[in-house]
């Protein structure tokens, strides 16, 4: 295939990226953009973080940055990485290296000046490309052909790449879900199966990072089925997975015109009850906010089946808009043959059409009726709120007076000695 060029790429030719490259490309040293930024640029996709490889040693990178008044942070100095920051934009700059010994994320490295050796230590061919400041793409590993074929392939021996860091098993499926097409590369797939016992040694934080990225990838549903067929998902979730519900969640997001939500999709895939949420939280070290969302989603979501709008309004009042939507989305994804029923869209979008009023009765309304401050007052307020909800949120004075009077009468009757 012809070698493409990025000569006209504005992100490369001007701004902070051009400034960093100009600082590093001088006095016999060379720097090139590496990895994901090159891949995405060639695929016409948005560019995220920009990583740079350089022949300059870390101390020299820091010296040049300081001379150019660029902030330099030695984020991974033992492995040759210095982060340069310009106008709040970080650039990871790493000296060309060769991994001598590898132990997961830890490795003994030797710095060098050989671009091919540096490319050969990377994970996948489409991540092993470089582009120079003038837009010329350099391919030492066959990455251009694999990008054209949308094929995710390990560089060199897949088993060796995986043994260097077992997280690459998850990355294989995540990168395939995001950028690949068709079935996963056979050699890589077989190596992932052979190396799956190594997943047990990965930290929960690293598993969370990769799996939440996979959840929102373009072909996440197909990738997760492939992982399940390979005997990988059970090792990660330690529970039943629901591929149909996961596919339905994606369809529901599209029907509502909302973007992919990793936690919603994880709930559809692996949460049926609150115990599932707790287990996933521990195994993946989810954040408190993520755990609370999953726990709420798993709490009696099935009660949404057959719910009318009056009950839905009361549920929205109790849960709040965010938790209500999450639970409705999970119920919708689990609806099975009823997935296409119009009620699900109506129920899920209720917060867009209606905002629950605030409970209008106050403590003073009951103190004036002889209820003393303390636990009794709190109990009466709860009873009154329940009655107000059962009557579907009346706001007129007569109805509110009736609720207050009846609640006090009921409380007094029930607590009379």
Beta strands in 77-224 (DSSP E): 81-86, 89-95, 97-103, 106-111, 129-131, 137-139
- Please give the structure tokens belonging to residue 346: 């109506």
Domains in the chain and their CATH numbers?
1-149 (3.30.460.10), 151-237 (1.10.3090.10), 265-352 (no CATH), 363-415 (no CATH)
pLDDT in tens, 191-222: 999 999 999 999 999 999 999 999 999 999 99
pLDDT in tens, 24-70: 999 999 999 999 999 999 999 999 899 999 999 999 999 999 999 99
- For 97, phi then psi, to 5°, come to -150, 170
Does the pTM surpass 0.85? The reply is yes
Give the pLDDT band (50/70/90) at residue 417.
Answer: very low
Task: Assess whether pLDDT exceeds 80 at residue 416.
Answer: no
Task: Assess whether pLDDT exceeds 70 at residue 9.
Answer: yes
Beta strands in 144-199 (DSSP E): none
Side-chain-side CA neighbours of residue 106 (13 Å): 2
Position with higher pLDDT, 306 vs 128: 128
Contacts of 53 (CB under 8 A, 6+ apart): 31, 32, 33, 34, 93, 94, 95, 96, 115, 118, 130
């Amino acid at each position: 295939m012809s070698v493409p060029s990025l000569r006209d790429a504005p992100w490369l030719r001007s701004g902070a990226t051009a400034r960093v490259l100009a600082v590093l490309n001088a006095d016999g040293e060379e720097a090139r953009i590496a990895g994901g930024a090159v891949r995405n640029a060639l695929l016409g996709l948005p560019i995220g973080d920009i990583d740079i490889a350089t022949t300059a040693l870390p101390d020299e990178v820091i010296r040049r940055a300081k001379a150019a008044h660029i902030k330099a942070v030695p984020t991974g100095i033992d492995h040759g990485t210095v982060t340069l920051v310009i106008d709040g934009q970080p650039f990871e700059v790493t000296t060309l290296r060769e991994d001598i010994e590898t132990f997961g994320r830890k490795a003994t490295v030797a710095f060098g000046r050989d671009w091919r050796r540096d490319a050969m230590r990377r994970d996948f061919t489409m991540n092993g490309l470089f582009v120079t400041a003038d837009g010329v793409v350099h391919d030492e590993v066959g990455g251009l052909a694999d990008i054209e074929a949308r094929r995710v392939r390990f560089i060199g021996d897949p088993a060796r790449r995986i043994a260097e860091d077992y997280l690459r098993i998850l990355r294989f499926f995540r990168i395939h879900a995001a950028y690949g097409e068709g079935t996963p590369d056979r050699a890589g797939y077989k190596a992932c199966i052979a190396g799956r016992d190594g997943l047990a040694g990965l930290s929960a934080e690293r598993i969370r990072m990769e799996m939440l990225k996979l959840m929102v990838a373009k072909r996440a549903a197909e990738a997760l089925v492939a992982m399940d067929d390979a005997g990988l998902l059970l090792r990660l979730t330690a529970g039943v997975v629901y591929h149909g519900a996961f596919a339905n969640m994606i369809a529901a997001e599209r029907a509502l015109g909302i973007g992919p939500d990793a936690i919603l999709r994880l709930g559809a895939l692996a949460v049926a009850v609150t115990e599932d949420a707790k287990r996933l939280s521990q195994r993946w070290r989810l954040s408190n906010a993520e755990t609370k969302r999953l726990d709420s989603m798993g709490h009696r979501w099935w009660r949404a089946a057959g719910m009318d709008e009056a009950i839905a309004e009361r549920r929205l009042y109790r849960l709040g808009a965010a938790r209500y939507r999450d639970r409705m989305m999970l119920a919708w994804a689990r609806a099975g043959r009823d997935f296409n029923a119009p009620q699900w869209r109506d129920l899920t979008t209720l917060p867009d059409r209606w905002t629950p009023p605030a409970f209008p009765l106050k403590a003073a309304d009951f103190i004036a009726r002889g209820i003393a401050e303390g636990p009794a007052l709190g109990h009466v307020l709860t009873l009154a709120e329940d009655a107000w909800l059962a009557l579907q949120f009346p706001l007129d004075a007569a109805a509110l007076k009736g609720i207050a009077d009846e609640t006090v009468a009921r409380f007094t009757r029930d607590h009379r000695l």
